[in-house]
Chain A
Amino acid sequence: MDAASAKLLAAGISMGVGSIGPALGLGMLISKALESIARQPEVSGEIRTNMFIGIGVTEAVALYAFVIALILIFVA
């Protein structure tokens, strides 16, 4: 395998494997948040705010994989 195709393969793998963790984390986070909103609808505003903070932090992990994939394709 030459260097160029190895780079493309690595970019694909980094994006694919890097999305697994954040996807699971987002699923857990949102399901728990919905569960607690269903249990206590009166604090739904606060839960939603904190859920969005959590989404932002979790989602960033997948985006690091995206940035690394871009670096592998265009820069490295």
Chain B
Amino acid sequence: MNRKAKWGIFGLIALGALVLLAVLPGGAKQEFSVAEEFTLHPIIKLPSLAGVDLSVNKAVVYLWVTTAVLVALAIVVSRTIKKHPGRFQYSIEVLYELARDGIVGGVMKSGKATWFPYIGAVFFFVLASNLIGLLPLPLGEHWQPAYYAATANLYVTLTLALFTFVFTHYAGIRKNGLRYFVNWAPPSAPPVLKQLIWVIHAFGEIFRLVSLAVRLFANMLAGHAILGVFFAMALLFQNYLAALMLQGGSVLIYLFEIFVAFIQAFIFAILSAVYIGGALDQEH
């Protein structure tokens, strides 16, 4: 039997299997609410302090896991450091060099050594949080696997963005003194226009904070929501062929989400570096 005939028979069998899958009666219709995946139920109930609910929920556990993984990684890497790196040490070194030379070294002019610890820490934290968010942990109702990312929560990303916001102005005031605020408007502009530019810049600083937080939050939320919609559709159609295709699609989206996790961590860190670098070396 030649190769062509083999492939023909294989194709016929595959086609037959697909038709069989399409006409096979599907399983019971099931409900899967995507929005339910993002509502936070308290896992450990704690009393609220001054109106702030302190209960431990999914997002908190994901943050703990992220922190634990990062701390363990840092200890393991620093203890087992070798002159001739193995595969593990080399991959960590690539990420470290990306943070040091690609992000801080490529964007900032002065204060590289001062601000690399913060920007590197933010890069690794967001990256680890995004990647751990792609793993389902048994935190759902009745301890079912549920997937969530700490960075798919606006409060977490807003806190991270607030760090960058505060550090930007701290760096600017420490380097340039109170001239930092005067320098928001170009000194050569005519008086009325200068004040207008200053006000626009001040609003711009607030919107930088909001956009930094919302970008990361919405990216991670959108990725998880699309995965959830694919799973929900697979359950909804009651058809094995549609379920197979949707599961295949969800695998592709999952791979794309790994790429997005890297890109978003990179963008968050590089924009933090751009903002802090801009406050240190003011153009006007």
Contact B214 A63 (CB under 8 A): yes
Give A67's nearest chain B residue, CB to CB: B218
Contact A49 B270 (CB under 8 A): yes
Contact A67 B271 (CB under 8 A): no
Contact A66 B274 (CB under 8 A): no
What residues of A have a CB within 8 angstroms of the CB of B215 in the complex?
A: 56, 59-60, 63
The A-B contact count (CB < 8 A) is: 43
Contact B222 A52 (CB under 8 A): no
In the bound complex, how far is the Cα of B222 from the Cα of A55, in angstroms?
Answer: 17
Q: What is the number of residues of chain A that contact chain B, defined by CB distance less than 8 Å?
A: 16
Contact B218 A52 (CB under 8 A): no
In the bound complex, how far is the Cα of B165 from the Cα of A5, in angstroms?
Answer: 39
What residues of B have a CB within 8 angstroms of the CB of A49 in the complex?
A: 102, 106-107, 270
What residues of B have a CB within 8 angstroms of the CB of A63 in the complex?
A: 214-215, 218-219, 222
A67-B214 in contact given A49-B102, A74-B35 (Cβ < 8 Å): yes
Q: Does B211 contact A (CB under 8 A)?
A: yes
A48 to chain B, nearest CB (A): 9
Q: Does B148 contact A (CB under 8 A)?
A: no
Q: Does B69 contact A (CB under 8 A)?
A: no
B74 to chain A, nearest CB (A): 26
In the bound complex, how far is the Cα of B225 from the Cα of A66, in angstroms?
Answer: 11
Partner of B270, one of A46, A53, A70, A74: A53
In the bound complex, how far is the Cα of B217 from the Cα of A66, in angstroms?
Answer: 11
Give B215's nearest chain A residue, CB to CB: A60
B226 to chain A, nearest CB (A): 11
Q: Which parts of A38-76 form the interface with B (CB within 8 Å)?
A: 45-46, 49, 52-53, 55-57, 59-60, 63-64, 66-67, 70, 74
Interface residues of B (CB under 8 A from A): 35, 102, 106-107, 211, 214-215, 217-219, 221-222, 263, 266-267, 270-271, 274
> Given contacts A49-B102, A60-B214, could you give 17 more A-B pairs where the C-beta distance is less than 8 Å?
A46-B106, A49-B107, A49-B270, A52-B263, A53-B274, A55-B267, A56-B267, A56-B270, A59-B215, A60-B215, A60-B218, A63-B215, A63-B222, A64-B214, A66-B221, A67-B218, A74-B35
7 closest A-B pairs (Cβ-Cβ)? A63-B218, A56-B267, A60-B215, A49-B106, A60-B211, A66-B218, A67-B218
